[in-house]
Amino acid sequence: MAASLNQLPGVGPTTADKLLEAGFDSYQALAVASPGELSNTIDIGERTATDIIQAAREAADVGDFESGTALRKQRDQIGKLSLLIDEIDELLGGGIETQSITEFYGKFGSGKSQLTHHLCLTVQLPEDYGGFHGRAVFLDTEDTFRPERIDNMVRGLPDEVIEATMTDRGIAGDAADEAALDELVSHVLERIHVAKGFNSSHQMLLTEKALDLTGEYTDTAWPVRLVCVDSLIAHFRAEYVGRGNLAERQQKLNKHLHDLMRLASLKNVAVVVTNQVAANPEAFFGDPTHPIGGHILGHSSTVRIYLRKSKGDKRIVRLVDAPSLPEGEAVMRITESGLKPD
Ligand code: GTP
Ligand code: MG
């Protein structure tokens, strides 16, 4: 690929390497970049960046108006990832969509991290069981990822699903066979790529790495089909404190979301992010159920889902904002063996 980026006018070997390193691994990726973003990322002048993007657009044959047919073709590839909880799948019109960002927001303990764990498992299930037969990337910014929890969740799947999944992976045995279950758990954990983000810049860098990783597995039997960011906002919130830093925070967050959106649409991946609800509603938007992040986040995440605690292990899942779905609610339970229907 470096060789072909090299063929763009104005791109020498050094620039080509920098582009690759920054995750611009195709004409298409370059074509949708903004000059400001590109010039900042690889440290070139904005004029040069504009020229490179223009050349990439011509080479990639994008950036013009797309026909309805072409758009339809891309939309036809949108997959819907099942949660294995019928009521929620129905609420979401079939499941969590690829090519877009889905945001789960809610208070502490509402189940955001549990949901991201759960999806790292369901994305791996065979298509007959609502999965993508794909792997997951987990950007862990709060040190919440727990392999033991995945272990519980695998063992907690219905026997039929366990056995279909074993067959799918060439694991001999059944749901009562401990050795086969152990093998299945390892197989599943092997396909969850976890990276811990130590601060917001690191988190953004990891997003670029996630794009690389996704590229590496694109044409393999187990492509990356899910990228989770848990939590999206925590670092940004901690680092950019106070009104004076709000604009800069939003700008960075905007770039981060832009990168995630690009990953989602270029690689046909489902991106799932979590977001805390402000503890002090006054400090933000006056609505206690409003997620942190402000307007930019509101526009970028295509589907927003509000989680709230109910009695005991029950959680209410509320679809708040989706382009083509009615609002509504569903219920799930967080049990020892994972997320279950009510
Ligand atoms: P914050 O990250 O603090 O904002 O919360 P969150 O929304 O990510 O909450 P999380 O997904 O961590 O949900 C926590 C809830 O899940 C807890 O209140 C527990 O009730 C439940 N939970 C987590 N792990 C287990 C487990 O191993 N077994 C059972 N039965 N419940 C669990
Ligand atoms: Mg959490």
Residue 62 has a pLDDT of: 52
Chain centre distance of CA 27? 22
Whether 41 and 89 map to the same domain: the answer is no
- CA-wise closest residue to 18 among 33, 38, 4: 38
Going by CA atoms, what residue is nearest to atom 23 of ligand 1? 114
109 is in which domain, residue-wise? Answer: 74-341
Residue 295 lies in a domain: yes
Give the Å distance between the CA of 274 and the centre of ligand 2: 8
Q: What pTM was computed for the model?
A: 0.82
Residue 284 has pLDDT above 80, yes or no: no
Cβ–ligand 1 contact at 112 (below 6 Å): yes
Whether 98 and 239 map to the same domain: the answer is yes
DSSP string, 196-226: E--SHHHHHHHHHHHHHHHHHHTTSSS-EEE
Whole-angstrom CA distances from 123 to 11, 103, 133, 207, 326 are: 38, 17, 6, 19, 25
Q: CB–CB of 329/315 below 8 Å?
A: no
Q: Which ligand is nearest to the CA of 334?
A: 1
Whether 21 and 132 map to the same domain: the answer is no
Ligand 1 atom closest to the CA of 336, numbered from 1: 30
Residue 328 has a pLDDT of: 94
Taking residues 230-235, what's their average pLDDT? 93
CATH of the domain at 248: 3.40.50.300
Residue 282 has pLDDT above 60, yes or no: no
DSSP label at 30? Answer: H
Q: How confident is the model at residue 13 (pLDDT cuts 50, 70, 90)?
A: confident
DSSP label at 66? Answer: P
Mean pLDDT, all residues of the chain = 88
Amino acid identity, position 307:
L
Going by CA atoms, what residue is nearest to atom 4 of ligand 1? 108
Q: Indicate the number of domains in the chain.
A: 2
Whether 47 and 123 map to the same domain: the answer is no
- CA-wise closest residue to 232 among 204, 213, 194: 204
Q: How confident is the model at residue 289 (pLDDT cuts 50, 70, 90)?
A: low
Q: Which ligand is nearest to the CA of 112?
A: 1
Residue 219 has a pLDDT of: 94
Residue 152 has pLDDT above 80, yes or no: yes
- CA-wise closest residue to 66 among 58, 74, 55: 74
Whether 292 and 244 map to the same domain: the answer is yes
Whether 6 and 82 map to the same domain: the answer is no
Cβ–ligand 1 contact at 116 (below 6 Å): no
Cβ–ligand 1 contact at 111 (below 6 Å): yes
CATH of the domain at 54: 1.10.150.20
Burial (CB count <10 Å: 0-12, 13-18, 19+), residue 276? buried
Q: What is the best residue among 103, 113, 333 to mutate for testing ligand 1's pocket, by most ligand atoms within 8 Å of CB?
A: 113
Give the Å distance between the CA of 145 and the centre of ligand 2: 9
Residue 283 has a pLDDT of: 46
Q: How far apart are CA 240 and CA 248, in angstroms?
A: 8
Cβ–ligand 1 contact at 106 (below 6 Å): yes
Give the Å distance between the CA of 115 and the centre of ligand 1: 9
Ligand 1 atom closest to the CA of 152, numbered from 1: 27
Whether 274 and 140 map to the same domain: the answer is yes
Amino acid identity, position 165:
T
Whole-angstrom CA distances from 278 to 105, 221, 305, 306 are: 10, 41, 15, 13
Residue 66 lies in a domain: no
Going by CA atoms, what residue is nearest to atom 29 of ligand 1? 336
**Residue with more model confidence, 154 or 5:** 154
Whether 43 and 119 map to the same domain: the answer is no
Cis peptide leading into 82, omega within 30 of 0?
Answer: no
**Residue with more model confidence, 214 or 19:** 214
Taking residues 225-235, what's their average pLDDT? 95
Whether 101 and 8 map to the same domain: the answer is no
Residue 67 lies in a domain: no
Lowest mean pLDDT among 46-55, 64-73, 136-145: 64-73
